[in-house]
Structures are given as structure tokens and as C-alpha cells.
Homo-oligomer: A and B are copies of this chain.
């Protein structure tokens, strides 16, 4: 196939084909109203001249951008550090691009706040937003609702106006982990959890306590400690827990990184895992498959979550204005040696 000079406007192709710009436009958008022969001829010309059209002009003319924004709050260290975000971001970007949408990455930090993002969203005509790390006290969230920007929250369940969400079964995962531990004979459980304003943590708390209640044994003692997630917190938590009288025989962590710290510190204190203490994590990072002992954990369906977020957003954009129902995806509880009965 010979390549001629790359053409830069629709009119050049039109001139070459001996038709008008409108016809070329119809061909490029696969719209009806062009004879098969002309269509083929134009397609060949487009191919030959490596012509791609100009997205900017198209946007201006159609009044929409076919692009969506992802907002990442860099000032929230939990987010930047959290091992699941790269994969989630990748999944969202993947799904968006497959649907013909471009992804614009917005980051907020200590100085550049939500106003800046909203300005860009308006100026750039971003069609919709995906917020992978919102919490109930998020300033952006309120503004997005007011501005009626179609938005999908990931990992935070809050619905209002043009805002819907996709999340996974954090509650069921913790319910299952907790129940399994109880059936395995554990009687003094501690949950190391993140702050409840992030609904993922809140749900895990719920599942944990519901499992305790449902088990219905008075001799069971349970406790929840809210802390930052991370290795250091795990270490600190163990130190604190074992300085007390009532020492847990099971520690459930809302992050594998925290669990790693817990495992390490239990080792130092001479506590056997899972003999003396069972430990579970959340996230299924690579480490957890290889730690000593291998860590029981929960895998979130990150790829499907990203895809679902995009699909929900597209529904809102192309649909008839109704905000679609939230979507809940299934987590997978992974049993390894660290919590063996």
C-alpha cells in the first residue's frame, strides 16, 4: 500500500475524491447516505493519506469531547501509597480507550484544589468524571453534584443527582474472614481498620461486627482499632495490643501492608502465626503470596471495577438522563496459612 503525503483536512480528501467535505465526514463517521462506490473510494483515500481527522474541530462542532476525567487526590497519602490504584487506573484507562474515550488525568494537591479541576472540566468539556478515591467529606464530591457533572465513584458508595458508584463487597469479605476465624476456634479478634469516612473501611467494619453478632457466642471478644494503613501501623498496633492483658488470637487487617507489619512484629515478640495468632490482610499484593507464613487476604476485582466504572459513565452519557443503578462486584477471599485453623 503506497502512502502519499499525509492529508490534514477533510477538504483535502474531499478534493482528491471529487466530492464535498460533508460526504467525507459521513464516511469517517460511518453514517449512512453515501453510495457504496464513493464510500470505498473515500475510505481508500483516507487510508492512503493516513488521514485521521481533527478531534478538536469535531469536539467543537458536536459540543462534546468524548473524553473523561479521572481525579486523583495526591494530598491523600493513603491513595498514593495504596497498591491497588495503579491497577485500577490502568483498568479504567483501558476500558475508556476501548470505548473510544480519552482519559484526562487530574490531580489535586495541597495547593491546587477542586476549583482547578472543575474549571478544567468545564473548559475542556470533559463529558464525565471518575473519582477513584472519594470519601464523604470530599469537597469535590459536593461540587460535582451541584454542577451536575456525570460522575462515577469508585470504592465509595454515595448516590445523588448525576452521581453513581461501583464498589465491591468489602462487607461480605470481612464477614467471611471473621466467620472463618471464629469457626476455626479464635475467640479474641481485633480488626485494624481505616477511617469510616471512606465507605470501603466502613463496610469492612460492618461485615466484621455482623459476623461477630451472627456467631452469637458471649465468650468472643472483639475490638476495632482505626489507624492508618501501612507497615508501620501494623508494627505499632501489635506492640500496643500485646502490651495489654487481653491479647487477641486473631488480627484482621484492612491492608496487606499493615498485615506485613503485624507478621513481622509478632515474629519479634515470639508469637507463632497462625499457632498463637491468626492474621489476615486485604488487597492481595504480591508479598502476601510469599510471606512467612503466606498471608490470607482478599482480592478485589480491580479490573472489572475499572471497566464497570467506565460502563456506568457511558450509560449516563449516552443514556436518557437517568442516573444508573450502582454496581456491586464480588470480592474473593483467599485463605492461606496465616489464618489456618
Q: CB-CB < 8 A to A80: which residues of B?
A: 86-87, 90
Task: Write the A59-85 contact mask toward B (1 if CB under 8 angstroms, else 0).
Answer: 110000101001010100000110101
Q: Is A30 an interface residue (CB 8 A)?
A: no
A45 at the interface (CB under 8 A from B): no
- Residues in B with CB closer than 8 Å to A107 are 90, 93-94, 97
Query: Chain B residue with minimal CB distance to A260?
Result: B287
Q: Is A257 an interface residue (CB 8 A)?
A: yes
The distance from the CB of A247 to the nearest CB of chain B, in whole angstroms, is 21
If the complex has contacts A56-B65, A97-B116, A264-B291, are A232 and B286 also in contact, measured as CB distance less than 8 A? yes
Interface residues as binary, A277-315 with B (CB distance below 8 Å gives 1, 0 otherwise): 000000000110111100000000000000000000000
A322 part of interface (Cβ distance < 8 Å): no
Given known A-B contacts A60-B57, A87-B80, A287-B231, A104 and B106 have beta carbons under 8 A apart: no
Q: Is A103 an interface residue (CB 8 A)?
A: yes
Q: Kindly state the separation between the CA atoms of A120 and B90 in the bound complex, as whole angstroms.
A: 17
Is A53 an interface residue when CB atoms closer than 8 A count as contact? yes
- Closest chain-B Cβ to A205's Cβ sits at a distance in Å of 24
- A112 part of interface (Cβ distance < 8 Å): yes
Bitwise interface map of A from 260 to 288 toward B, beta carbon under 8 Å scored 1, else 0: 11001001100000000000000000110
Residues of B within 8 Å of A105, CB to CB, are: 70, 89, 93, 103-105
Complex Cα–Cα for A272 and B72 (A): 42
Q: Is the CB of B85 within 8 A of A97?
A: no
A290 with B231: CB separation less than 8 A: yes
C-alpha gap A104/B106 in the complex (Å):
9
A217 within 8 A of B: no
Which residue of B is nearest A122, CB measured?
B52
The A87-105 residues at the B interface (CB cut-off 8 A) are: 87, 89-90, 93-94, 97-98, 102-105
**Does A187 belong to the interface (CB within 8 Å)?**
no
Q: Is A327 an interface residue (CB 8 A)?
A: no
A9 beta carbon closer than 8 Å to chain B: no
A292 contact set on B, CB distance < 8 A: 264, 267-268
Q: Roughly how many angstroms separate A85 CA and B90 CA in the complex, as a whole number? A: 12
Q: A74-B90, A86-B86, A107-B94 are in contact. Are A286 and B81 (CB under 8 A)?
A: yes
- A235 at interface by CB-CB < 8 Å: yes
Q: Is A54 an interface residue, CB under 8 A from the partner?
A: yes
Of the listed residues A89, A105, A292, the one surrounded by the most CB atoms of chain B closer than 10 A to its CB is A105
Interface residue from B53, B97, B112, B123 paired with A97 (Cβ < 8 Å): B112
Binding site for B on A (CB under 8 A): 52-57, 59-60, 65, 67, 70, 72, 74, 80-81, 83, 85-87, 89-90, 93-94, 97-98, 102-107, 109, 112, 116, 119-120, 122-125, 230-232, 235, 257, 260-261, 264, 267-268, 286-287, 289-292
29 contacts between A and B (CB under 8 A): A52-B123, A54-B60, A55-B120, A55-B123, A55-B124, A55-B125, A56-B60, A56-B65, A60-B60, A70-B105, A80-B86, A81-B286, A89-B105, A90-B107, A93-B105, A93-B107, A94-B109, A94-B112, A103-B106, A104-B104, A104-B105, A105-B105, A231-B286, A231-B289, A232-B290, A260-B287, A264-B290, A267-B292, A268-B292
